């Protein structure tokens, strides 16, 4: 085969496609009347040094001018900045462009921006295509600038070949049911429900327990401000219960959800009775559980070895054993590679809070239990050593006793064994410093040599390796508190499958994008907040709950959803109703129904995300993806081979 053959074939194919001489056309291509002349504009971005530091951007723009159909090409330092966007709009108006190619960074973040820019000056947004020359070119070929420049030219050439075959589309509008369903009655779920209700939307708040409050009901107090947790959240509970727009369903669970954004049909088991509701949006606020470290550090086998949450409950009900004089907290129990891979983030703050509570509020936390004998004297350090370690300070006459002096008076010793203390945030770090100044001792250990908890007689013994002295030491304590991570709810997978939303590697619900869409799911109309998406404290959970209310509220306030038209078009003459497309669709956007012409596939545009799975799986080639037709992709592929010798 000669080198000219592919080039001639490519040119003939493009000419035939542009002239409309193809054997197969989608329904849109048969009805839309476009001007025969394609006037393409190409805009190439330097992206600062991200692209311009590797790729010769001006030469790429000059090369674009030589491509068939291109009537204008230019480069700009930042195409996504105001100046760059105005350059695109000016180019469309001055050169009468009816197709636009932007060669820049990732289309996921900037594609909608350039589409709306085109729409503002009257160009249909589906006559725009994005060419990624950053992630797919400059970043991966940063050591080869000349080859990266050539590849950028090839990518632009492919984009130009495809954009000439794009067709304009009008997006469909589907009505939205102005009601919301919130799954979970913790602080994040209540915050979301109350915010939505205050916006005027009826809300169904479903909670499986017989009271609202979630995990927070188990806690003793807050680590910032020190207020009682129930006193803090009770006003929120009262507001939710008294709001006329909120239908609180306690001891209830969501059994099934069908439908799509704006039109969800949910079945709720409300105290044994099925309740069918229709809502426009769904908020997942199912919360998380505390990991129970059975078999670790004597938990479940030794007395007075409890988890951090169990200790919180003991403090709340004032049942801390009265003869406790020394407590050891052990951090990262089960987390950071021991049982789960992630850091639970909040454990260090909660442990610091409880350690400080013991020092500052010891008498208030004592109970009437008397199940711990006195600590054997021979296991304690000599009294003169204990006094020296306490670093007693003199205080002026008449001044109230300091925290350190109160701790010494009670002779309570608090130790926190940790791999690293992660008290993120300025206020949390100050709280940690306050605990150190109050006499709480923080002892580092390495993952390779964790502490060991045993019992000698009636005494708990923590054996640990002292990193500074390089010796193994023993510490006699009355209680061991294990800081364990938050883990997903046991039925998280079932909820995931019911709502058709993903779970992350750790089993928590996975948001659409951690920065750009932190409370959205990839499935439109469903949102997530609180510890359902990962460990978070109360402040973060409330903020996320309000964020989901904002996202869901804006969706319902609009009154309709404008579905993308990157959806499959079904050729009913070819469709045999086999159902393969329906079975592989991850969004349940295709259904096979029996009609006048037998079993045929139908598309639900509002539910479709345009992934193309159905088109790729159809054995009869009866499915054509709008804006990604076989002709468009074929020309783009052939264009990439035009200058490649065979």
Q: With b meaning 16 or more CB within 10 Å and e meaning fewer, what string describes 427-456?
A: ebeebbeebeebbbebbbbeeeebbebeee
Indicate if 567-625 has the same CATH topology as 4-171: no
pLDDT digits (tens, 9 = 90+) for 199-255: 999 999 999 999 999 999 989 888 776 778 888 999 999 999 999 999 999 999 999
Q: d(Cα 205, Cα 185) in Å, to the nearest integer?
A: 7
Say which CATH topology domain 180-287+489-561 has: FAD/NAD(P)-binding domain (3.50.50)
Q: What is the DSSP string of 341-397?
A: SS--SSHHHHHHHHHHHHHHSHHHHB-S----PPPPGGGSPPHHHHHHHHT-----T
CATH match for 291-486 among 3.10.180.10, 3.50.50.60, 3.20.20.70, 3.30.2010.30: 3.50.50.60
| pLDDT (mean) for 488-496 | 95
At 506, is the pLDDT very low, low, confident or very high (cuts 50, 70, 90)? very high
Which residue in 593, 572, 592, 573 sits closest to 582, CA to CA? 592
Length of the chain equals 646
Q: pLDDT tens digits, residue range 144-200?
A: 999 999 999 999 999 999 999 999 988 878 899 999 999 999 999 999 999 999 999
Q: What is the pLDDT of residues 344-362, one digit of tens each?
A: 999 999 999 999 888 887 6
Torsion of CA 627, 629, 634, 640, to 10 degrees: 20
What is the distance between the alpha carbons of residues 524 and 518, in angstroms, rounded to a whole number?
13
Strand arrangement of the beta sheet that strand 252-260 belongs to: 252-260, 263-270, 273-279
Q: Per residue in 607-629, is it b (16+ CB within 10 Å) or e — as a string? A: bbbbbebbbeebeeebbbbbbbb
DSSP character string of 147-212: HHHHHHHHHHHHHHHHHTT------EEEE--S-EEEE--SHHHHHHHHHHHHTT--EEEE-SSSSS
What is the per-residue pLDDT for 364?
Answer: 60
Residue 373 has a pLDDT of 40
Sheet of 180-183, strand order: 246-249, 203-206, 180-183, 281-284, 526-528
Mean pLDDT of the chain: 85
Q: Which residue has the tokens 């806690």?
A: 219
Residue 371 is predicted with a pLDDT of 44
Backbone angles phi, psi at 582, to 5 degrees: -65, -40
φ, ψ at 80 (rounded to 5°): -85, -10
pLDDT per position as a tens digit, 511-548: 998 888 999 998 889 999 999 999 999 999 999 999 99
In this structure, the number of other CB atoms found within 10 A of the CB of residue 265 comes to 14
Torsion of CA 97, 101, 103, 108, to 10 degrees: 130
Mean pLDDT of 550-569: 88
In terms of pLDDT, which residue wins out, 122 or 21? 122
Checking if the pLDDT of 138 tops 90, the result is yes
4-171 in CATH: which number? 3.40.50
Structure tokens of 519?
């409370």
For 567-625, CATH number out of 3.90.180.10, 3.20.20.70, 3.30.70.20, 1.20.1630.10 equals 3.30.70.20
> What is the DSSP secondary structure assignment for residue 476, as one 8-state letter?
E
Q: Is the pLDDT of residue 379 over 60?
A: no
Record the pTM: 0.75
Residue 528's pLDDT is 97
**pLDDT tens, position by position, 80-131:** 999 999 999 999 999 999 999 999 998 888 999 999 999 999 999 999 999 9
Res 390: pLDDT = 42
Please tell me whether residue 447 adopts helix, strand or coil conformation: coil
Predicted confidence band of residue 26 (pLDDT cuts 50, 70, 90): very low
In the chain, where the domains are located: 4-171, 180-287+489-561, 291-486, 567-625
Q: What is the dihedral of CA 186, 192, 197, 198, to 10 degrees?
A: 120
């Amino acid at each position: 085969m000669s080198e000219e053959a592919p080039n001639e074939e490519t040119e003939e194919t493009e000419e035939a496609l542009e002239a409309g001489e193809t054997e197969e056309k989608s329904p849109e291509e048969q009805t839309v009347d476009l001007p025969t002349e394609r006037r393409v504009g190409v805009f190439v971005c330097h992206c600062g040094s991200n692209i311009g530091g590797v790729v010769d951007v001006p030469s790429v723009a000059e090369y674009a001018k030589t491509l068939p159909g291109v009537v204008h090409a230019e480069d700009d330092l930042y195409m996504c900045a105001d100046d760059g966007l105005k350059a695109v709009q000016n180019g469309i108006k001055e050169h009468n462009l009816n197709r636009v190619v932007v060669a820049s960074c990732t289309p996921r973040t900037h594609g909608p921006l350039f589409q709306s820019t085109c729409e503002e000056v009257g160009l249909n947004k589906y006559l725009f295509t994005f060419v990624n020359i950053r992630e797919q070119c400059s970043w991966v070929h940063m050591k080869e600038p000349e080859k990266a420049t050539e590849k950028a030219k090839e990518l632009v050439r492919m984009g130009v070949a495809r954009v000439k075959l794009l067709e304009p589309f009008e997006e469909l509008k589907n009505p939205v049911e102005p009601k919301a369903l919130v799954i979970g009655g913790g602080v994040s779920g209540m915050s979301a429900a109350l915010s939505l209700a205050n916006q005027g939307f009826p809300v169904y708040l479903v909670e499986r327990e017989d009271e609202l409050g979630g995990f927070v009901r188990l806690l003793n107090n807050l680590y910032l401000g020190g207020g009682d947790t129930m006193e803090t959240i009770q006003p929120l509970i009262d507001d939710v219960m008294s709001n006329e727009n909120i239908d609180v369903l306690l001891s209830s669970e969501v059994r099934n959800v069908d439908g799509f954004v704006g039109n969800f049909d949910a079945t709720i088991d409300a105290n044994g009775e099925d309740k069918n509701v229709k809502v426009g949006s769904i908020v997942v606020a199912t919360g998380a559980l505390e990991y129970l470290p059975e078999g670790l550090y004597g938990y479940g086998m030794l007395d007075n070895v409890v988890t951090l949450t169990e200790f919180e409950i003991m403090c709340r009900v004032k049942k801390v054993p009265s003869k406790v004089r020394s407590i050891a907290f052990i951090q990262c129990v089960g987390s950071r590679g021991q049982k789960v891979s992630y850091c639970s983030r909040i454990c260090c703050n909660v442990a610091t809070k409880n350690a400080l509570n013991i020092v500052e509020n010891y008498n208030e936390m004592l109970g009437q239990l008397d199940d711990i004998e006195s600590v054997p004297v021979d296991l304690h350090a000599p009294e003169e050593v204990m006094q020296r370690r306490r670093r007693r300070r003199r205080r002026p006459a008449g001044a109230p006793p300091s925290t350190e002096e109160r701790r010494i008076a009670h002779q309570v010793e608090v130790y926190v064994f940790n791999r690293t203390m992660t008290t993120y945030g300025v206020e949390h770090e100050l709280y940690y410093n306050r605990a150190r100044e109050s006499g709480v001792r923080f002892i580092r250990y390495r993952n390779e040599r964790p502490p060991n908890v045993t019992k000698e007689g009636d005494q708990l013994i923590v054996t640990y390796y002292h990193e500074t002295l390089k010796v193994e030491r023993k510490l006699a304590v009355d209680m061991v508190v294990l800081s364990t991570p938050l883990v997903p709810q046991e039925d998280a997978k079932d909820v995931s499958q019911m709502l058709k939303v993903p779970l992350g590697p750790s089993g928590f619900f996975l948001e659409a994008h951690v920065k750009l869409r932190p409370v959205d799911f990839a499935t439109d109309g469903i949102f997530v907040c609180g510890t359902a998406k990962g460990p978070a404290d109360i402040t973060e959970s409330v903020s996320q709950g309000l964020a989901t209310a904002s996202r869901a509220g804006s969706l319902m306030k609009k009154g309709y959803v404008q579905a993308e038209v990157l959806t499959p078009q079904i050729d009913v003459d070819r469709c045999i109703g086999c159902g393969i497309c329906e079975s592989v669709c991850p969004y349940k956007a295709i259904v096979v129904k029996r009609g006048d012409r037998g079993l045929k596939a139908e598309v639900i545009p509002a539910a479709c995300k345009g992934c193309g799975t159905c088109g790729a799986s159809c054995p009869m080639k009866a499915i054509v993806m709008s804006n990604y037709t076989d002709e468009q992709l074929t020309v783009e592929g052939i264009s990439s081979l035009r200058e490649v010798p065979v």
